[in-house]
Structure 1
Amino acid sequence: MGRLAATFDYESLRNARISENQARLVSLGVQGKISELRAKASPAKPVETSVKKSCKKVYDRSSLRRSDRLKGKSGEVLFNSDSLRYSERLRARSVNPLKLNRRRVLGNGDGEEEANTPANAPRLKVDTTELRPSPEVLSRRCDSKGRGSVYDPIFGICCHFCRQKKLCGEEDCKRCGDLDMDEPCLGKTDCSVCHSSNGVLCRACLKVRYGEEMEEVRENKEWMCPHCQEEKGINPYWICNSSLCLKKRKMVPTGIAIFKAREAGYKSVAHLLMDKLQKAANHRKY
């Protein structure tokens, strides 16, 4: 009861104070000004934005830009050599001897390529006197016997596995030491069957990737590359394990797998891969 009485007294006092304040404002004449200020302070009505009507664009029906081929003028273009953008090589305006260094010499001048030319002895058709490396560079050639220490894009022979065009590190190699183009490279192999670049391997890649020695390959005049061995079925599951050949087989390249192969007791990476392929084939049979 006490709380209700206190509330009633507060409300009555509040209403009486409000009435007193309003009467005072009227007596001062500021009631109208307050209403004007409230009207000005009220938010204005938002302006209605006009909605743009989409109109369909009418395209010009003039003739379209067609190529000369679709216009039926292909014959004129093809026979007009000036209208086509050909390279300097196709226009035969300039011949760079560096781009012709891999062409083999034609035998006997009869227009036919020399038969069974070793892949480890490609003959150059350019004047090599101006392109020879300096004696200082050739002196560092035998610092590394495995692959050679001198990279030469002109005289170097590309290895199928490491793809390094290096002069070999064999001391008695006339091809890389004296740059005698009539001699084969002693530091690169050559397949007796295909005589192609697939059978060109340097000493290091031949040893690490296939477990063969260069001296044994030189003595064996009937040595065949892994590609030819697989094609003839001489050694089952013996394949080339270069990254290029493995990607063609849709297989993951082995990378540096020689340490793993030797830890497992294999002679080379090719022996490790051959064993894996044989086990996989036997597993599919059963």
Structure 2
Amino acid sequence: MAMVSARTDYEELRKAHIGENQARLAALGLQNTTADLRSLTPSAKSDRTHVRKYKKIDYSSIPLRRSARLGGKTPPLQEKLSYFEGSDTRGNSNAKRRLSLDGRCASKSRGSLYDPVYGICCHFCRQKKLCGEEDCKRCGELDMTQPCAGKTECSVCHSSNGVLCRACLKVRYGEEMEEVRTNKDWMCPHCVEDKGLDPFWICNSSLCLKKRKMVPTGIAIFKAREMGYKSVAHLLKDELRRRN
């Protein structure tokens, strides 16, 4: 009985407070303020003068883009273009231009068409392009079962470290692709170093030099040729020998 009496007293006290508050608001004239403000403010829906309509696109009338390779068609090969065809717009000297055409950027040296399926990535330039060799069935006829005639393969490791394109093989290591093809025992610079066959002969790719905590050489072939070296590897070999 005591709990029921206390609850009744609380409810009566609460109602008394509510009545006092309402009387106070009426005396101040604030009872209709909320309703008046709502009537003066337009709703968000009524304020929309322009509503964008959804327009459904009919994709059935648009032709789909499909790869020619997935459709069983052989994509036409692009022309083998030289990177230095026409005028020299970068202001290089004729000597540097001839040097570049001699093995750095010619289409036969590096290829001109990127292909993520049939192209094989060179360890040095990391270009996954078709080699551009005339007798390469893999890049010319797009035959996946054939080896790439424009990329080397180490007879020892058979890894990606021994894959070099014609340009990088000549400019960075001073070797010719024709000689490598005829040499069935050809070894990449990594295997030559591991076996100790040629002291101070190292791979001068940026990846390998960074592992050695050495600064990449960049286009050091110009400096090497001016100093009479056959390639960048020969220049580094001589420098490492002098340091040790």
For Structure 1 versus Structure 2, the TM-score category normalised by the shorter chain is 0.5 to 0.7
Structure 1: tracts of 5 or more residues without a match = 1-127, 282-286
Confirm or deny that 1:160 pairs with 2:101: no
Confirm or deny that 1:134 pairs with 2:75: yes
Confirm or deny that 1:188 pairs with 2:127: no
Shift of residue 133, structure 1, vs aligned partner: 5.6
Q: 2:213 aligns with which of 242, 250, 261?
A: 250
What is the alpha-carbon distance in structure 2 between the residues aligned to residue 149 and residue 226 of structure 1?
Answer: 26
Q: Rate the CA distance shift 1:237–1:132 in 2: closer, same or farther, 3 A.
A: farther
Give me the CA root mean square deviation. 1.8
Give the corresponding residue for 2:133.
170
CA contact (8 A) 2:78 2:113 kept: no
CA contact (8 A) 2:162 2:187 kept: yes
Q: 2:178 aligns with which of 215, 218, 229?
A: 215
TM-score normalised according to structure 1 size: 0.51
* 1:260 maps to amino acid: K
Shift of residue 204, structure 1, vs aligned partner: 0.3
Higher relative contact order (CA 8 A, sep 6+): 2
What is the alpha-carbon distance in structure 1 between the residues aligned to residue 130 and residue 73 of structure 2?
Answer: 12
What is the alpha-carbon distance in structure 1 between the residues aligned to residue 174 and residue 73 of structure 2?
Answer: 34
Give the corresponding residue for 1:265.
228
Give the corresponding residue for 1:84.
none
Shift of residue 130, structure 1, vs aligned partner: 3.7
Shift of residue 182, structure 1, vs aligned partner: 1.5
Confirm or deny that 1:199 pairs with 2:162: yes
1:159 is paired with a residue of what secondary structure? coil
Work out the number of aligned pairs and report it: 153
Structure 2: tracts of 5 or more residues without a match = 1-68, 83-106
What is the alpha-carbon distance in structure 2 between the residues aligned to residue 256 and residue 242 of structure 1?
Answer: 11
What is the alpha-carbon distance in structure 2 between the residues aligned to residue 274 and residue 132 of structure 1?
Answer: 48
* 1:223 maps to amino acid: W
CA contact (8 A) 1:142 1:168 kept: no
* 1:187 maps to amino acid: G
Shift of residue 158, structure 1, vs aligned partner: 0.3
CA contact (8 A) 2:121 2:128 kept: yes
Give the corresponding residue for 1:114.
none
1:276 is paired with a residue of what secondary structure? helix
Deviations 1:50-77 (A, max 9, x none): xxxxxxxxxxxxxxxxxxxxxxxxxxxx
Shift of residue 129, structure 1, vs aligned partner: 5.2
- Dislocated runs of 4+, deviation >3 Å: 128-133
The 5-angstrom pairing of residues 29-40 of structure 1 reads none
Q: 1:241 aligns with which of 204, 211, 215?
A: 204
Confirm or deny that 1:226 pairs with 2:226: no
Shift of residue 193, structure 1, vs aligned partner: 0.3
TM-score normalised according to structure 2 size: 0.60
What percentage of residue pairs aligned between the two structures are identical? Answer: 77
* 1:273 maps to amino acid: L
CA contact (8 A) 1:142 1:169 kept: no
